[in-house]
Structure 1
């Protein structure tokens, strides 16, 4: 995902809620949903709008936050609008995995640092 486009979460359900709460400060500007009963509502600080309200899709990256069975239909909608998967839109699973990888790398780095310190202490203890 690039850092210069605004982000949209597609899906005002439980998955979308989790993403909006966790990543709200990362440029999320709207939540999209196909359910017209939700349009105009506040969703944890973001307004829920219709996909038809987006005029210039090139300004946005879309994180699709729905279960797999709904993803296929939304993917079709996005492809029909000229968007490209993994360039313009992603399943939330791909995005969450990217963030998890960063967090995992930090944990690995911390673990390796601690391991190096223990090895150095043992080397001094047994080799000198």
Structure 2
């Protein structure tokens, strides 16, 4: 697995732990149940994407494999959010939906930090 992907997974797990600690400190089930579990599911599904990409490269039918994986991931998301709405209510559902954005947030931070480093190099080379 690529080093950048490993770093994103590591940062995602750290973010998940921060969300859990914050939820416990404020004693809010929306945060420590909805968002934390959403963060974990997001991380797990991103790991699934990475594994599918590696196996699709070696497979004879990558299209079928990736479509099946796509459907599995969205089924996981749908079941999780459905359970939250059904048993815990809409606020926990929103917390879970925000938690599912964990990987996207970490990827965004990685891209922004890379762009800042490029800008910093350009500015230092101008001096």
User: Where on the TM-score scale, by shorter chain, does this alignment land: which range?
Assistant: 0.3 to 0.5
Larger Rg: 1
| Structure with higher strand content | 1
TM-score by length of 1: 0.44
| Structure with higher helix content | 2
